[in-house]
Amino acid sequence: MKIQESAENYLEAILVLSNQNGTVRSIDIAAYLQFSKPSVSRAMSLLRQNGYAEMDKDGLITLTPKGLEIAERVYERHRLLSTWLVSLGVSPDTAAEDACRMEHVISRESFDKIKEHVARYQSGGEA
């Protein structure tokens, strides 16, 4: 299931905003991602057409199971990579920016190994 990085960013944003606010509208996504309203509107249309998101009559956006699966995967990568980079001494802002880029291109194998390494490190094992 490979989708474009921009779609992954939108799905992740919907997940984060939904967790923070309970409901999500296009205007919330535009503010969160610092994108124009027309850009968000176009992206939401494409996400709906491809079965990743839904919008009700009141403009509330939700993720479909397929969209939620992708959003959760990307968000897990983002959180873990950010935490890992900070633990290596990278500033939190830089770590978040780098994690945002890395989360889209890292292989499952590499991510799983970093995840294992972080788990060992956090449990007191060797780094």
Residues of the chain where predicted confidence (pLDDT) is lower than 70:
1-2, 125-127
Reported as a single tens digit per residue, the pLDDT across 88-111 is 999 999 999 999 999 989 999 999
Q: At what angle do helices 65-87 and 92-105 cross, to 10 degrees?
A: 130
pLDDT of residue 79: 94
Sketch out the chain's domains with CATH numbers.
5-69 (1.10.10.10), 73-122 (1.10.60.10)
Residue/partner pairs of 106-115 with CB below 8 Å, 24 or more apart: 106/77, 106/81, 111/77, 111/80, 111/81, 114/80, 114/81, 114/84, 115/80
Compute the CA torsion angle 37, 35, 46, 67 (nearest 10 deg): -120
